[in-house]
Amino acid sequence: MTEEDIIKLIRTGGKTMDAGVKALYQTTAQPMLRFFVYRGISSEEAKDVLQETLLKIVRSAESFTGDGAAKAWLWQIARNCLTDYQRKQSSVGTHETAVNDEQWTRLEETTPGPTSTEGAGVQSVDECVAAGLGAFNNREPERAYVLMLQMDGMSIDDIGQRIGRTLAATKEYLSQCKKKIQPYIAHCTELLAA
């Protein structure tokens, strides 16, 4: 079932709408949860953002005109919900907190390094890649953002427009991003053999 079909079911209402909502959840819940976690929020927060996203999709189904791809429309709502959530969280924590040297030392001792996902009890390839992407996002947020745009299916031309680069420069930048992320996820291939 395509995203367009799902939106049509939701727009119909009644029991058909229920079937559409179920199909929406089955096709988008896991990818959206992974996307939210990749973008730096906890899995519990991701569930809250997913719920808000699905509600907005259902409420906005009537406004989908069909001019663009339904998948892009769904993911734009997901990105907007995540941005809204992160904006709310940052405005909640705008006050400064003084941290002394001893507290920083304790924090550094409990914070894993960028490639510490190896051997940390990661059980699936998805979890391994998610952890690697999370670490990469912490170190290289701009590069992680561009890779996420490509993984979301955005064309190289559209990515270039979004980040203000020419098509050739965007292709080169994406190539560099893929090389930079390799150390963060290379060990995940071992899980494929298991």
Residue 139: CB atoms within 10 A of its CB come to 14
Question: For the chain, which residues make up each domain, given as ranges?
Answer: 3-89, 119-193
Q: What percent of the chain has pLDDT over 70?
A: 81
pTM of the predicted structure, to 2 decimals: 0.49
User: Which range, of 51-60, 69-78, 121-130, averages the lowest pLDDT?
Assistant: 121-130
Q: H-type helices in 140-166, by residue range?
A: 141-151, 156-163
In tens, the pLDDT along 16-72 reads 888 989 999 999 999 999 889 888 888 889 999 999 999 999 998 888 887 778 888
Domain 3-89 adopts which CATH fold?
A: Rna Polymerase Sigma Factor; Chain: A (1.10.1740)
Give CA–CA dist 133/115, Å, rounded: 10
Give the pLDDT mean for 66-83.
87
Of the pLDDT bands very low, low, confident and very high (cuts 50, 70, 90), residue 105 is low
Q: What is the mean pLDDT of the chain?
A: 79
